[in-house]
Structure 1
């Protein structure tokens, strides 16, 4: 009986440990996916805000027609009065132009600063964050990217794929330390500017 009890306890302990490990992995993956979803939501909201601003600026240009504006107006709630009037005479036209020009000084500069970063290929952003000759884990590179460019909702897997592409191009070296892949920048960040890895 003692042997049976001890065997039963051993099996229970083994399953308890396995379940605990699986549960920890499950929660960790949930946390990571939740963070990715939040980043994507933030990025989508930013894109909608930029779209609204750009639409207003486009409508303010001479010779532009008003049709694009009614679609975007419900999101911001700023232009319902303006969208009702354009069907009449051309008199209401100059009014939005005056308003749009009152604010762009700040918005325009912020967009100009944000565009190069948002439009830059992912491989350039990643390479710029990697000090020359310093081995980095994929998660470290991903964390640096999320901190430096929160507008890019990029997953760890996408960062890994981009790094692998840079390895193939000889821009980044790859080594295994204690069973973990480490990536090291082997060329100056500006040298791969003309290349465009598919993963980025």
Structure 2
């Protein structure tokens, strides 16, 4: 009697183990199916989006001025072989007329006289020595701070892109050359021109 009970218990234990294994495998199977189904849906949705974009792009390309139908596969070689030399020459003339000469296009876009004048002026100031530009911005007998000179220089000659430190160094150089005077007011250095720029250009350049 006990032997039969042990056998039944062992059989039930084995069934329980297989039942748990089958349940686990079944759950994994269904989870993988769910994941693959989601991937397939994403791919199908992406494919539909690409097809929609293709249709839209084709329509926009056809709507461009001078646009022709979307490119098609090249025709068989015998079609071109049957074309006469005169026809091919005519096609070349048409293509040449349709595309403007780069040289002519460049002449058509020539800058107005005012733009050329402004460009020459900007090039002149960009090439001029910095001390000349700064000296021209300083009225005689009017003390100026470094930041004031820098602000005026940036406003009148933005193409120079000079820093405040460079302006200070240039002012100090002009002081050493005797072109400018230097004084202190409330702890700040003040630079003053004592002569018009024309009177000391040669000395500043020396």
TM-score, normalised with respect to structure 2: 0.46
TM-score, normalised with respect to structure 1: 0.47
The structure number with the bigger radius of gyration is 2
